[in-house]
Amino acid sequence: MKTGVIVYVVGSQGKLTNSEYEDLARTLDIRADRVEVVTSSEGDLGVMDVWWRLTAKGMNRIVCVIAEMTQRSQLRLTGRELRLCG
């Protein structure tokens, strides 16, 4: 079964690009077939949009984990996890 993970970044965000968030997410040691990052910034794709994209790419199990930015501009998982299913 393929697993997809959505990293939802909460809290105050700087002016990082999506690719910079994706680079930070790689440091989180998330074991999945595919990892996508969603921020609460206006104009970005939402959790449901990314869930649909992962579903279309064949992910059978999709989990959403919550991460926050630290003061040193790193991502830290909060321990909260949501299983998304359709």
Q: What is the pLDDT of residues 38-76, one digit of tens each?
A: 887 756 678 899 999 999 999 999 999 999 888 777 889
75-84: average pLDDT? 84
Q: What is the mean pLDDT of the chain?
A: 85
Q: What is the pLDDT of residue 44?
A: 66
Q: For 74-84, b where at least 16 C-beta lie within 10 A, e where not — what string? A: ebeeeeeeeeb
**Predicted local confidence at residue 54, as pLDDT:** 94
pLDDT at 81: 85
Domain ranges of the chain: 3-84
pLDDT, position 86? 58
CA of residue 80 relative to chain centroid, distance: 12
- Better pLDDT: 22 or 3: 3
Looking at the DSSP assignment, which residues form a beta bridge with residue 34? 4
